[in-house]
Structures are given as structure tokens and as C-alpha cells.
Chains A and B, each alone.
Chain A
Amino acid sequence: MSSSAKSPPPGIGMSRRGFLKSMSVSAVATTLTTTVATGAATLATATRTAAHDDAPPQLIQGLTPLTLTVNGNDHTVLAEPRWTLLHVLRECLGITSPKPGCERGECGSCTVLVDGVARYACLMLALEAQGKSIETVEGLMHGEALGPVQQAFLEEDALQCGYCTPGQIMAAEALLRHQPDPTLEEIRVGMSGNLCRCGAYRHILTAVAAAAIKKKS
């Protein structure tokens, strides 16, 4: 397969996923305007007040405005303290590449990069991600072209059902940024936080090795 990705012809109309995304974004926008108007305390106000004396900072409860930087873009949403980063990415922002799997930090299908390192988005409160740089598979695209890790997964047939793949790709991306030239053992360790129930592990390891070469070229 050629490594130059074929872009779909432009202007064919909205894809199913694009349609769903636009719906969820507009739903968020609606909530945002109504609830902000009711005067929910912002995180910034809460911490600023507290910094002046040693009284504990204001407690945040219920919906609160939250700005997340995802793939270089700032998104402001209303989020509850109990919402995970995974929940906000998928349900508020329509960024659906991080997948809910075990939702207990075991399977890795929700792996995203937080300030450049791989993390489980299911085990991170969205409020804790404020001010950090979040990256998902969507951010690895060059326009409509696949990034080198994605391309390597495609070429090496490193998936069957594909559900774990976005998490696998982000784990591989994090690994290769820190170890551009990993040994097979380093790849094994770097990918050890991601399960594939189809058992595509052999191809995944091959794909990560191939991606290392692609990233350098």
C-alpha cells in the first residue's frame, strides 16, 4: 500500500460522524449559555479568592465552565467535577477516538496524551486536565492524511475489530516520542498498558517498529 493517504473528495456532504459531532457540539453550546447565565462559580474565581487568605478554596459543585485544550484547540464546556476526561472528550466535545472499555484503568482503549505522556482518560477528572495539552488520534492527522503511527497500523494490519486501536496508537505515539528507536522489549513495555482482545499483538508490535522508521523518514 502506498504511504500517501488518499483524501476523500471534498464537498460530498456530511459524514455520519461529522453529523453526530455537530449535533453534540450544538447541544453543549445550548447548555453553556443557559447555565453560565445562572452564575455558576468558575474555577478561576474559586482559586483566586482562596489565594488571598488561608481559608479553603470555594467548593465546586455541579456544572462549571471548563476550558480544555485538545489537539491545539481550546474548547469551553460546562462539566461536573465527577465527569472524567474521557466523558467530556466524547460526550461534550464529540471527540470519539478515545474509547470507553473497562473504565478502570486496565484496558488502555481510552489512552490519550496529556502534556505529551500517555494517560488513561477514564481515570482522570476533566477538571484536572484544565491547562494541559490533550492529544487524541484526531490530532495525529495531517489534514486527511494519516500520521506515521496510524499509517503503520494500517499497513501492518495491526487490528481486527479496531476498538482498542486509537488507544494503541496513542500509546505507540507516546512511546516513540520518548524513545524514537525502541528495542522490541522497549516496545513490549511501552505497549503493555493496552489490551487487544482480538489478539493482534504480534502485528501491533510490528506496526510500532515500522512506525519508528516512518517517523524518522
Chain B
Amino acid sequence: MFEDFAYARPESVAQAAQLLQDETAHALAGGSDLLGCLRERIFPVKTIVSLSSLKELRGIARTAEGGLSLGALTTLAEVAGSTEVQTLYPGLAQAAAEVASPQLRNQGTLGGNLCQKTRCWYYRGDFDCLRKGGASCLAVHGENHLHCIFGGDACYMVHPSDTAPMLQALQATVWVAGPAGDRSLPLEQLFMPPAQDPTRETTLQPGELVTHIHLPPPMAGQQTSYRKVRARRSWDFALAGVALAVIIEDEIVTSCRMVLSGAAPFPWQATQAEALLTGAALTRERVRAAASAAMQGAEPLTHNAYKIELFKGIIQEELARLVRE
């Protein structure tokens, strides 16, 4: 049984924003992450603000520019099953379909998938870790098989989302509503690097909530894909994953965005690999060099150096697949 809390179901985004200004108030979208946190009593929750009446935050619509606007409360199953997403950004449909199990995709929302807490077992378990206000990250000298190889700083979590890396590869914009009104930001600015604040996952201010995710129209010839490797095939979080948005013209890569999941406390953009691939033909040597470049500067912990080879392998396989197609 959860600790007691009060429940409110606002009828407007403004009301929700007002309620969420309280630090112990938490937004309830699909609930698959929040209810898990409630059960483990990870942080105090005095008020649950249900977003279920905010119908305007659900669904997928074409934007005037020819891209898509995805409501934050659109379920992952709806994203995966949308003909428009499948046609315009097949990699995003793949990424959404790779999240968890059918039941959780029917429940989990796109906004929730971006704003979820880490699955680090010290954070989820009965440990006083840095992210929960403790003295230090327990993964550094502990069981860190699933932790980050990039971007760790004081906290070494990995961001659990599969859709976030794909959305970042697609240059998504996040729309946020709050007490001061609406604002938009590039998706990569939604995530809080632990170097800045290891106790928060997002840069959202008190009272703010994600309302929509906007995708620019796909560029001509753009190929997108998401590849995920997990310990258990049926369903699990990513050990390693790679989201690609690539344009190949006359066998030359003219544009490349590569964002990794399972690598860092936020979606990790492999900029060195992108630079190496852009302007080049995808030869076997170039693909291998790009995979190595993607892992340049990796700082594995005691038990997760395997991720480096895993990433190299899936990056090479995914790039090779683009050439074949």
C-alpha cells in the first residue's frame, strides 16, 4: 500500500501547473514510473496531480510545417502504432515499440517516458544515494554493470528512455507549460546533467510540465532507426541502444545524427562519430572508425566496460543496414 496522498484532477494545464508548484506534488500521466516510485517510497509525495482530464495533451497532429506535434499524454502504444509516425519517422515508431511490455506501452506516455526517473538499483532500492540526498553515488564502487560510460559526474545513472535518443536524433523541440506561461526548448536541454544537479532528472522548474513534443518535417531522403540491446529479449531497459537519423545521397552521408541510450545520464550524442561520417561514404573502414569514434573518451566503471564493445557492434550493424537499404 502506498503512503497516503491527496489527489487532484485539474481541468486545465494552468490548474495543473499551479498545483505542481508544490515540491511534494507530482504529475500523474500513465503512472507506470510514478506508482513504482510510490511503492518503493523513493521520494515524499503529498499530492498526486492527475493529468487524465487534459485531453488536449493527447494525440498526434500534423504541424503547419509538415512535421508532427505529439501530445505528452499520447501513449507509447499510440506512438508506435501511428501510421504518420511510422511513415515520417520510422525510427521513433521502433523506439516506442521497444519500450517495456505491451501493457506498459498502453499505459506509459511519451511525456512520462522523457521525464521518468532512473532505474539505478541504488536509487530504486533502500539506499541513501546521492540522487536521493545522500553523500555519494553507491554505484561507483558497487554493482555498476548497467551504469553509464559517458557523462557521469558524482551520479552514474543511465537515462532509461528509448524514445528520448530517437527524438534527439530527430531534433525534437519540447513544449513546456508552467506558471509563467509556455516555453519551448530543444529536447537535449530537457535533461539535467548530474554535473549540474545530481538530484534532478530534468530542467523543468517547479510547476512546469511537458505538454507537447514537436518534430520538424523529415528531411528529404532521411533514414531513421533505433536499435536496442537488452539483457532479456522479451522486455527490459536498454543495455545499449543507438538512434540514427541519416541522409545518404549518391552513397555519401550528407547528414548524420547519432544518439545513444544506455550510455549516459541523458541521451548521449556521439558527435565525434557524426563528424566522421558526414561527407563520407559508408565504407566498411569508415563504419568501423565511426563506431570507435563514438566510444572515444568512454570512462567505464568497474563492471561495465563490456558496453564499449556492445556499442561498437550495434553502431556498425546499424550503419551497415542503412547501406543495404
Whether chain B is bound by chain A comes out as yes
Name A residues whose Cβ lies closer than 8 Å to a Cβ of B. Answer: 43, 46-47, 50-51, 54-61, 80-84, 87, 103-105, 108, 111, 114, 117-120, 122-125, 127-128, 171, 174-175, 188-190, 192-194
Point out the residues of chain A lying under 8 angstroms from B77, CB to CB. 117
Point out the residues of chain B lying under 8 angstroms from A193, CB to CB. 100-104, 235
Known A124-B107, A125-B31: A108·B101 in contact at CB below 8 Å: yes
- Residue from B4, B48, B102 within 8 A of A171 (CB atoms): B102
B86 to chain A, nearest CB (A): 16
> Apart from A43-B9, A54-B12, what are 9 other A-B pairs with CB-CB below 8 Å?
A46-B9, A54-B15, A81-B5, A82-B2, A82-B38, A114-B106, A120-B32, A122-B35, A124-B31
Q: Is the CB of A103 within 8 A of B39?
A: yes
Known A128-B28, A193-B101: A82·B3 in contact at CB below 8 Å: yes
- Residue from B3, B31, B32, B101 within 8 A of A192 (CB atoms): B101
B127 to chain A, nearest CB (A): 17
- Residue from B5, B101, B102 within 8 A of A82 (CB atoms): B5
Point out the residues of chain A lying under 8 angstroms from B31, CB to CB. 123-125, 128
- Residue from A117, A125, A189 within 8 A of B28 (CB atoms): A125
B7 contacts the other chain (CB 8 A): yes
Interface positions of B from 146 to 174, Cβ below 8 Å from A: none
What secondary structure prevails in chain B residues at the interface with A?
A: mixed
B19 contacts the other chain (CB 8 A): yes
Point out the residues of chain B lying under 8 angstroms from A59, CB to CB. 6-8, 47
* Complex-state Cα separation, A128 to B107, whole angstroms: 11
Q: Which of A56, A60, A127, A174 has the largest number of chain B CB atoms within 10 A?
A: A56
B14 contacts the other chain (CB 8 A): yes
Q: Is the CB of A119 within 8 A of B106?
A: yes
Point out the residues of chain B lying under 8 angstroms from A43, CB to CB. 9
Q: Is the CB of A54 within 8 A of B7?
A: no
- Residue from A84, A118, A188 within 8 A of B103 (CB atoms): A118
B53 to chain A, nearest CB (A): 7
A27 to chain B, nearest CB (A): 18
Q: When A and B form their complex, which 5 residue pairs have the shortest distance between CB atoms, in order from nearest?
A: A193-B101, A81-B7, A59-B6, A192-B234, A82-B2
* Complex-state Cα separation, A84 to B107, whole angstroms: 14
- Residue from B5, B15, B103, B235 within 8 A of A120 (CB atoms): B103
Point out the residues of chain B lying under 8 angstroms from A192, CB to CB. 101-102, 234-235
B9 to chain A, nearest CB (A): 6
Q: Is the CB of B1 within 8 A of A82?
A: yes
Digitize B1-27: 1 where CB-to-A-CB distance is under 8 Å, 0 elsewhere. 111111111111011001100000000
B50 contacts the other chain (CB 8 A): yes
Q: Which residue of A lies closest to B103 (CB)?
A: A193
Known A47-B53, A84-B35, A118-B106: A58·B234 in contact at CB below 8 Å: no
